[in-house]
Amino acid sequence: MSGKQYFEDSSETGFDDLVDIDIELISTTSYNEDLLSKKIEDGGMKKELFACALQLAIVGWGRGNYGTVQVSGEKKELTEIFDEAGVYYNNEAGAQLDSEDLTPKRLVRLFRFQIQKWIKRKAGQSFLVRKYGSNLGGAYNEYIFPGAEHLITEKRHANALISCYSIIDANQHSHFVDRIKNVLRTRNVDFDT
């Protein structure tokens, strides 16, 4: 070692041999769409779980109230479907989940493409557009719903989604925009800062 306060070159550290050792990095993410899709397919409740995801993305939920859906003429509380399908709900923030554990948010994220198609076909609007994006116009409907941050690819759609969540954050002192921006950054989607 040279006695310097600050090294100017990696060779001065004495650690260059470390880059050649056999290291395998283990992902800490516990979200795996392949495993979740298989679990839904194998569970035999695909229609019901899609209906739940649609209800959550279009109508919303809060304070433990998830709502009700009607599938093939049968009306059910979402919590009843969740219990039947083994969906974890009312979890504590930061709860440790396995990669195949279903949650309401994971359902919305997994079914995001089908939710988008449903909105387009039915000329639907999510609660985000109705409550916080009335100035956006119908052209944005299929890009503004919870989970859309995982499918948006265009800057204008990203900005519109951020705009809606910014209003929520301002009203509720929440931090949705930070999470939305992190997802968009991770996916390399541009947005205004």
104 and 136 inside one domain: no
Classify burial at 184, counting beta carbons within 10 Å of its beta carbon; exposed 0-12, middle 13-18, buried 19 or more. Answer: buried
Give the total number of structural domains in the chain. Answer: 2
Please check whether residue 12 lies inside any domain of the structure.
Answer: no
Least confident residue range of 2-11, 62-71, 160-169: 2-11
pLDDT tens-digit profile of 122-169? 999 999 999 999 888 788 999 999 999 999 999 999 999 999 999 999
Please check whether residue 7 lies inside any domain of the structure.
Answer: no
Q: What is the pLDDT of residue 39?
A: 95
Average pLDDT over the chain, rounded to whole? Answer: 91
User: pLDDT band at residue 94, thresholds of 50, 70 and 90?
Assistant: confident
Please check whether residue 13 lies inside any domain of the structure.
Answer: no
Instruction: Supply the range of the domain harboring residue 64.
Output: 31-110
- On the question of pLDDT at 63 being above 90, the answer is no
Q: What is the pLDDT of residue 97?
A: 87
Angle between helices 46-58 and 33-43 (to 10 degrees): 120
Residue 55 makes CB contacts below 8 A (sequence gap 6+) with 61, 66, 67, 68, 69, 78
92 and 132 inside one domain: no
Q: What is the pTM of this model?
A: 0.83
Give the residue from 110, 139, 173 where a domain finishes. 110
Give the residue from 65, 88, 110 where a domain finishes. 110
35 and 100 inside one domain: yes
103 and 134 inside one domain: no
- Averaged pLDDT, 40-69: 94
Radius of gyration over every alpha carbon of the chain, rounded to an integer in angstroms: 21
Give the residue from 110, 137, 172 where a domain finishes. 110
